[in-house]
Amino acid sequence: MKKQTLIFLTLFLSQIIFAQKQNGTWDYPIRPGTEKWQELDSYEKRLNAYNIPDSILSIMSTIDLVKTCLNYPEFRLIMTRNSLQLGYDYLKSIFNGFAELEKRSDSGKELIKLYEAMEPQKITQYDTPSKRGAFSFQFTCIELIMAQPGIQKNLSKKDIIQYFDVCTKKYDGKKLLENEYSMFDLGTTALTMGRLLNQEKHSDFEQVKQSNTQVRNFLEKSYPTTIEDFNLIYNYSKDYLKTYKNE
């Protein structure tokens, strides 16, 4: 009986992997609500079940990988650590998609394409706080990934201009809807811009980092800081964008 079960499980997984290879995506076939999920007897095993087999991971297009990471079923775990960055670091330690995404040289390009199409004002279309919260959390997820140095280091000058342009517009959009988007929501937008300023070694911003411990801690570990610091990062981003466009 055990042998038959093992054979069935092997065939089941083989069919899953074949189907995933056909379209290059990974839709987490073993997840809550499935019979196989119920058979896993520990949370650790369930987390491991989300990982993408190497045979699939190696052939996935970057855009498919981006979407797979954004759809990671346990993304909420970023909230279980002392900061969002520490939460992301934890996710990267348990799910192989994030580490692979940071290795892709075109990941930033694909992320910004999806991000640009997202519209903060659409939050008003949702009629309950939980739905609006789920919508705003989509921004948190993509911005946190966009803020990773491994993603930003491969950006071209054109990409950098687009990053600053789109991020400042999203920041503006969120601030116009202050009853819908909190400081928490502005934080990941500011983190994305701030880390790019840091990477590009903006001279005036370098001086701010040297004199402001909270800004340094925010950039390094996304520890909380003030709305004034967020606005400062926004203003330097606008300034840097203007300088870049005029070159």
pLDDT digits (tens, 9 = 90+) for 35-91: 999 999 999 999 999 999 999 999 999 999 999 999 999 999 999 999 999 999 999
What pLDDT, on the 0 to 100 scale, is given for residue 6? 37
Burial of 240 (0-12, 13-18, 19+ CB in 10 A): buried
Considering the chain, what is the average pLDDT of its residues? 90
3-class secondary structure per residue, the chain:
CHHHHHHHHHHHHHHHHHHHHHHCCCCCCCCCCCHHHHHCCCHHHHHHHCCCCHHHHCCCCHHHHHHHHHCCCCHHHHHHCCCHHHHHHHHHHHCHHHHHHHHCCCHHHHHHHHHHHCCHHHHHHCCCHHHHHHHHHHHHHHHHHHCCHHHHCCCCHHHHHHHHHHHHHHHHHHHHCCCCCCHHHHHHHHHHHHHHHHHCCCHHHHHHHHHCHHHHHHHHHCCCCCHHHHHHHHHHHHHHHHHHHHC
Between 22 and 77, the higher pLDDT residue: 77
pLDDT at position 43: 94
Distance from C-alpha of 144 to C-alpha of 85, rounded to nearest angstrom: 8
What pLDDT is attached to residue 10?
36
| Bigger pLDDT: 234 vs 203 | 234
Please give the share of the chain, as a percent, with pLDDT higher than 70.
89
User: How large is the average pLDDT for residues 7-16?
Assistant: 38
C-alpha gyration radius of the chain: 20
Give pTM, 2 decimals: 0.88
State the average pLDDT over residues 148-167: 96
| Dihedral sign from CA coordinates of 119, 123, 125, 130 | positive
Please tell me the predicted confidence (pLDDT) of residue 23. Answer: 54
Give the pLDDT mean for 10-19: 39
Mean pLDDT, residues 115-140? 97
| Predicted pLDDT of residue 226 | 97
Give residues with Cβ within 8 angstroms of 27, minimum separation 6. Answer: 20, 68, 71
